[in-house]
Amino acid sequence: MKPDHLIIFDTTMRDGEQSPGASMTREEKLRIARALERMKVDVIEAGFPAASNGDFEAVKAVVAMIKDSTVAGLCRANDKDVQRGIDALKGAKSPRIHVFLATSDLHMEKKLRMTRDQVFEQAKLSVRFARNHCGDIEFSPEDGSRSDPDFLCRVLEAVIDEGAGTINIPDTVGYAVPQQFGEFIRSLRERIPNSDKAVWSVHCHNDLGMAVANSLAAVMIGGVRQIECTINGLGERAGNTSLEEVVMAVRTRKDFFGLDTRIDATQIVPTSRIVSQITGFVVQPNKAVVGANAFAHASGIHQDGVLKARETYEIMTAEDVGWTTNRIVLGKLSGRTAFKQRLKELGIDLESEDAYNKAFQKFKDLADKKSEIFDEDLQALVSDTSVRESEDHWKLIHMSQASGMGERPHASVVITEAGKEHKIDAEGDGPVDATFKAIETVAKSGAELLLYSVNAVTSGTESQGEVTVRLSKGGRIVNGVGADTDIVVASAKAYISALNKLESKAEKVNPQRGI
C-alpha cells in the first residue's frame, strides 16, 4: 500500500442494510456490488453470512461476481460464525474476514454478560481461527470509542499478534468528537507495541452528525489509512460516514490531507441513485455531493459569479462526481442499440436479453408520452423491478381513477394474479388510497404500509414520478419502486412491485436483525 493511499471500505450492503426498511434482495445486492466495483471501492463488505441463509447466499453471489475489489464478510467472534464467513467467501479473489466483539464495559456487562478476561480470550481465539483459514483478517472492538483504553490496548495487541492485519475502531453509537477521537486513536497506535503491523481503520456512526468529521480527524490526527463508509451515509439509526463526502473531501483538499483514493468519482452519483432507488431512502436535496441541489446556484449573485468564473462558487464540478446535465439523450425514434448503449454508459447492466427487451418496450411507451428523455428517466425506468423479474406473480394490466373537489375518489384496476385476470373497483380518501385499496381487495396481503414516497425524476411538470412503497409482513420488509408520468399509475406499479417481492421465495436478507 502506498503511504498516501486511503483505503475505502464500503459497508452499504452490511451496515447500510441494517437501516430499518433498507433490506436488499440478492439481486439488489449484486446491482450495488457491481456499481461499487465499477467505482473502484477497495473493500466491499457484502454482508453478514451467519445472519441468515439469504445473506450467506448473497455474499456468495457477490464473491462469484467481484474480481477487482476485496470482498469482506462480517462475523461475530466465534468459530461457527467465522466458519460461515469462510464458507461464504470461498473462491473470492481477495477475501477478508471481519471479526467483531464488543470491548466497552457497558456492552461486555449488559449485552455480552462476559468479563474482560473472557472477551480478551474470545477475541484472540476467534482471530486465530479466522487467520488459519484466511490471509486477510480485520478485527473491530465494537463500541471501541467508549472502551477503556488500557483494556483496548491489551485486546488489540493480542489480535494483531494472532494475525489481524486491519484494526478498525468503531464509534458504534456516534458518541465521538473529532479532536478527541483522533487523539484516542493516535494514543492507541503509540501505546500498542505491534501497532505498525496493522492498517488502522475507523467506522463512525452519525448520531451527532459528526461521522465524516470524526473519520477525517482519525486520518489526520490518528494516522488511520482505511475509512469504513456507505453510499449516501446509509446505516443504522442516523447512518454511517458517507463515502461520497469522504472521497470528495480528501480529493478536493489534497493540499491538506495529502492522500488520495482509487475511487472513480464519476460513478458516485449513478451509484447513489441505485442505492436510493433500491432502499427507498431518498437523498435530501441539500446533501453534500449527491443532493439534487449540491451544484444548483439559485441566487443571482452566485449564478453571475459561476458564469464568469466557475471557481468563484464551486470547489468541484458536477461532472466530476457523475452528474449529467439534464441532456436529452434519447427520443421516440432511438433504436434498441442506442438505448442499450446509453444504459451501458450509465453503468446499468441488465441481467438478460429479456430484461433489455422489457426495458426497451417501457422506453418506447415513455417516449410516446414524453418527448424528451433524460438519463434520469432511463435510471428510473430500469429501477422498476418488473423490468428485472421474469415471472411476476402480480401484473398491472390497466388502471384508471377519478377524483375531484367534493367527490369521493374512485379507482378501477385490472391486475393479473399468476395469469388470472381480476377487475376491481374501490373508493378511498385519495386516488392513491383508492388504487391501493382496489389492489388489496384481490391481493389480500394484509401487509402494513411503512412508507409511501413520490419523487420527481427530472424537473418540470412532464417529469416522471418515481414512487417507493415499503411494505412489512411477517417480519419481512420489502421496497417496491414504480415510475410513470402519471403518479397514480407509478404508485400502483410500486405497490404491485412490493407485492411481488413479498410473494417471491427469496429469503429476506437482513443481517443482525433477529440474531
Residues that bind ligand KIV (CB under 6 A): 15, 74, 100, 140, 142, 170, 172, 203, 205
Residue 170 grid coordinates: 468503531
Q: Which does 140 bind (CB under 5 to 8 A by kind): Zn ion, ligand KIV, none?
A: ligand KIV
Question: For residues 83 and 371, what is the distance between their CA atoms, to the nearest angstrom?
Answer: 55
Q: What angle do CA 393, 496, 46 make, to 5 degrees?
A: 85
Task: Report, in Å, the least distance between residue 459 CB and ligand KIV.
Answer: 38
What's the half-sphere exposure (Cβ side, CA atoms, 13 Å) at 476? 23
Taking the least distance from each CB to Zn ion, the nearer of 15 and 57 is: 15
Minimum CB distance to Zn ion smaller for 15 or for 384: 15
Residue closer to ligand KIV (CB basis): 33 or 74: 74
Q: In the structure grid, which three cell numbers stand for residue 195, read together?
A: 501497532
Whichever of 139 and 356 has its CB closer to Zn ion, that residue is 139
Residue 150 burial (CB count, 10 A):
9
Nearer to ligand KIV (CB atom), residue 172 or residue 500 = 172
DSSP state, residue 5? B
Nearer to ligand KIV, 168 or 386 (CB): 168
Q: Considering the complex, what minimum distance in angstroms separates the CB of residue 203 from ligand KIV?
A: 5
Q: What values do phi and psi take at 478, rounded to 5? A: -130, 155
Q: Which does 142 bind (CB under 5 to 8 A by kind): Zn ion, ligand KIV, none?
A: ligand KIV
- By CB under 5 A, residue 384 contacts Zn ion: no
Q: Report if residue 15 touches Zn ion, rule: CB under 5 A.
A: yes
268 within 8 A of 244, measured Cβ to Cβ:
yes
Q: How far is the CB of 97 from ligand KIV (least distance, A)?
A: 13
Q: Which residues are bridge partners to 168 per DSSP? A: 201
The least CB distance from residue 209 to ligand KIV, in Å, is: 16
Distance CA 224, CA 253 (A): 17
Of the candidates 446, 463, 443, 442, the residue with the CA atom closest to the CA atom of residue 454: 463
Q: Could you say which of ligand KIV, Zn ion, none residue 384 binds, taking C-beta under 5 to 8 angstroms by partner kind? A: none
Q: How far apart are CA 185 and CA 200, in angstroms?
A: 9
* Side-chain half-sphere CA neighbours of 133 within 13 A: 22
* Smallest separation (angstroms) from ligand KIV to the CB of 235: 8
Q: How far is the CB of 169 from ligand KIV (least distance, A)?
A: 9
Return the number of the residue (15 or 157) whose C-beta is nearest ligand KIV: 15
CA 261 to chain centre: 20
Nearer to ligand KIV, 203 or 287 (CB): 203
Least gap, CB of 230 to ligand KIV (angstroms): 11
Query: Residue 15 Cβ, how far from ligand KIV at the closest point, in Å?
Result: 5
Q: Which residue, chain included where needed, has cell 382496489?
A: 438
Question: What residues between 214 and 253 interact with Zn ion by CB under 5 A?
Answer: none
Number of continuous H segments (helices) and E segments (strands) in the chain:
17, 16
SS3 letters across 427-480: ECCCHHHHHHHHHHHHHCCCCEEEEEEEEECCCCCCCCEEEEEEEEECCEEEEE
Number of residues that bind Zn ion (CB under 5 A): 1
Q: Which does 100 bind (CB under 5 to 8 A by kind): ligand KIV, Zn ion, none?
A: ligand KIV
Could you say which of ligand KIV, Zn ion, none residue 128 binds, taking C-beta under 5 to 8 angstroms by partner kind?
none
Query: Based on C-alpha coordinates, what's the Rg of the chain?
Result: 24
Written as one letter, the residue type at 431 is P
The identity of residue 98, as a single letter, is H
CB of residue 170 vs Zn ion: minimum separation in angstroms? 6
Of 205 and 493, CB closest to ligand KIV: 205
Residue 36 binds which entry of ligand KIV, Zn ion, none, with Cβ cut-offs from 5 to 8 Å by kind?
Answer: none
For Zn ion, the binding residues (CB under 5 A) are 15
